[in-house]
A and B are shown apart, each in its own frame.
Chain A
């Protein structure tokens, strides 16, 4: 009962309420709605704690069993401890926490992301091939948008149109149409899944064996 029936009743009640309250601007409904939003934030806060503990546990296990690359786990745990200690010691407004963020975390994250440019260039050279019609279309669209999104695209022409104009057309029409289709599909899928959860048809969130 506690593992299945009560969660199902709870999901049905809260789910139905959240749908209904949208159409009823009564103060009581508004107060409950605000309460639900507050709870969502509280639960999200606890999720962060659970996530952190899970990460710590994962890395401790890697260290304990000397798994391949366990040295990186030392770095991960060291970083976590350093940031927490720096925050507790000097606060987050300045001091060592801000220094670590500005001069370690920011450049490190930015550098890691910048490496993408190198890997994308290498991968494009090796894998971006006109092997068939579909791949050729993708290749052409990619090249046109790449060139059309930089100033050079204004000087390169395809017939009467500049590369920039063709890139804008690709982004404004085929891209928007495809994205809109995907968004409608995702929206319908989310609504269907939500309805299945509210009605107790979809129960995978209850855990294994249900």
Chain B
């Protein structure tokens, strides 16, 4: 049998099994790859580290369950860091499928950190028309969110005391699998001067480089690796670092398959 036929004829079911094993085995038997930190993540970490005690931070959960594996670890790790700085958290969501995720992440992390709803954090919920909401917050947040997600007026929450618009916000963080962080940069930062940090999926992170270079965002966490980098800076390993082993082996497997495919391709062209 020709070499090219063997190399080019691998049944895709074997490839699927290979992917499944390369992801599952490292999760079951961790290897413990370390991860180095990129300047984009370092910049976000440094910015949070330099926030004053009790700063107010908007956390916008702009993603749906499909990308939670990448973005949840970032949000959790950053929440831990922000609570170390005693930050006041205003959670919100600009995608219809995001409030459920935001609630889960915020509730679990605030319980772990022993933070009180209304005192240390509040969940504002979902509003439609993302860009209008971003711009409106620049004028008056209570016009976008008169109440929290559960119908309580914002004026009843101590955490909202003195918070009117971006002038009272020390950092906006958008976790997203869409182009939403670009809008945050263009509207919240460029128009109102709010510092914006981004947590993006690996695919979307590619778009963030020009915004970081121009200073429109303070930095960004890209994909699961971004989460792993932040966790390593925090010294608190979580889902990000755990997932890097699986991602490493899966990437190596994919590269191996690409090499096999190309060897087969050249062998076929040479007629062997």
On chain A, which size bracket covers the interface?
A: 35 or more
Is A126 within 8 A of B261, CB to CB? yes
- In the complex, what's the smallest C-beta–C-beta distance from A200 to chain B, in angstroms? 24
In the complex, chain B residues whose CB is within 8 Å of the CB of A139: 258, 262
Is A40 within 8 A of B129, CB to CB? yes
Q: Is B2 an interface residue (CB 8 A)?
A: no
Q: Is A146 an interface residue (CB 8 A)?
A: yes
Given A41-B127, A112-B66, A147-B251 in contact, is the A128-B261 Cβ separation under 8 Å?
Answer: yes
Is A150 within 8 A of B244, CB to CB? yes
Q: Is A98 an interface residue (CB 8 A)?
A: yes
Is B16 within 8 A of A150, CB to CB? no
Is B38 within 8 A of A105, CB to CB? no
- In the complex, what's the smallest C-beta–C-beta distance from A6 to chain B, in angstroms? 23
CA distance A171 to B40 in the complex (A): 12
Is B251 within 8 A of A152, CB to CB? yes
- Interface majority SS (helix, strand, loop, mixed), chain A: helix
Closest to A44 in B: B129
Is B207 within 8 A of A179, CB to CB? yes
Given A150-B244, A151-B34, A152-B33 in contact, is the A129-B262 Cβ separation under 8 Å?
Answer: yes
In the complex, chain A residues whose CB is within 8 Å of the CB of B265: 129-131
Q: Is A82 an interface residue (CB 8 A)?
A: no
- In the complex, what's the smallest C-beta–C-beta distance from B136 to chain A, in angstroms? 5
Is A44 within 8 A of B128, CB to CB? yes
In the complex, chain A residues whose CB is within 8 Å of the CB of B25: none
Q: Which of B85-93, B96-104, B166-174 contacts A (4 or more CB under 8 A)?
A: B96-104
- Highest count of chain B CB atoms <10 Å: which of A93, A112, A125, A180: A125
Is B66 within 8 A of A34, CB to CB? no
In the complex, chain A residues whose CB is within 8 Å of the CB of B266: 130
A-B pairs with beta carbons under 8 A, tally: 149
Is B254 within 8 A of A146, CB to CB? yes
Q: Is A118 an interface residue (CB 8 A)?
A: yes
Is B250 within 8 A of A117, CB to CB? yes
Is B258 within 8 A of A128, CB to CB? yes
- Highest count of chain B CB atoms <10 Å: which of A106, A112, A149: A149
Q: Is B255 an interface residue (CB 8 A)?
A: yes
A138-177 interface (Cβ within 8 A of B)? 139, 143, 146-147, 149-152, 154, 164, 168, 171-172, 175-176
CA distance A102 to B248 in the complex (A): 29
Q: Is A132 an interface residue (CB 8 A)?
A: no
In the complex, chain B residues whose CB is within 8 Å of the CB of A106: 65, 68, 100-101
On chain B, which size bracket covers the interface?
A: 35 or more
> Contact flags (1/0) for A96-133 with B, using CB distance below 8 Å?
00100110011111101110011011101110111100
Is B258 within 8 A of A40, CB to CB? no
- In the complex, what's the smallest C-beta–C-beta distance from A56 to chain B, in angstroms? 16
CA distance A209 to B248 in the complex (A): 55
Q: Is A14 an interface residue (CB 8 A)?
A: no
In the complex, chain A residues whose CB is within 8 Å of the CB of B149: 93
Q: Is B210 an interface residue (CB 8 A)?
A: yes
B20-38 interface (Cβ within 8 A of A)? 20, 23, 33-36, 38
Q: Is A183 an interface residue (CB 8 A)?
A: yes
Q: Is A45 an interface residue (CB 8 A)?
A: yes
Is B209 within 8 A of A41, CB to CB? no
Is B100 within 8 A of A179, CB to CB? no
Instruction: Find B202's partner among A108, A126, A149 (CB 8 Å cutoff).
Output: A149
Extra A-B contacts (9), CB below 8 Å, given A139-B258, A151-B248, A152-B248: A30-B139, A38-B143, A105-B65, A106-B101, A107-B65, A125-B10, A125-B257, A146-B255, A168-B38
Among all A-B residue pairs, the 3 with the closest Cβ atoms: A44-B129, A151-B33, A113-B66
> What are 14 A-to-B residue pairs whose CB atoms are below 8 Å?
A37-B135, A40-B131, A41-B132, A48-B96, A108-B65, A113-B69, A121-B18, A121-B253, A126-B261, A130-B266, A149-B223, A151-B35, A152-B248, A183-B210
* B interface with A by C-beta (< 8 Å): 10, 12, 15-16, 18-20, 23, 33-36, 38, 64-69, 96-97, 99-101, 104, 127-129, 131-133, 135-136, 139-140, 143-144, 149-150, 202, 206-207, 209-210, 213, 223, 225, 244, 247-248, 250-255, 257-258, 260-262, 265-266
* A interface with B by C-beta (< 8 Å): 30, 34, 37-38, 40-41, 43-45, 47-48, 92-93, 98, 101-102, 105-110, 112-114, 117-118, 120-122, 124-126, 128-131, 139, 143, 146-147, 149-152, 154, 164, 168, 171-172, 175-176, 179-180, 183
